[in-house]
Structure 1
Amino acid sequence: MNKTLLISAVLATLALAACDQPTVVNVPATPVAVPGPAGPQGETGSQGATGYQGETGSQGATGYQGNEGVQGETGKTGDGTTVIVVPPEAAAPTN
Structure 2
Amino acid sequence: FTEWRSFLDVPAELQPEPLEPQPPEAQSGASEPGSGDAKKEPGAESFHFSLCLPPGLQPEGEEQADARGVAVHFAVCYRCAQGEYWDNNAGANYTLRFARPADAL
TM-score by length of 2: 0.16
Using CA pairs under 8 Å that are at least 6 residues apart, name the structure with larger relative contact order, 1 or 2. Answer: 2
TM-score by length of 1: 0.17
| Higher-Rg member (1/2) | 1
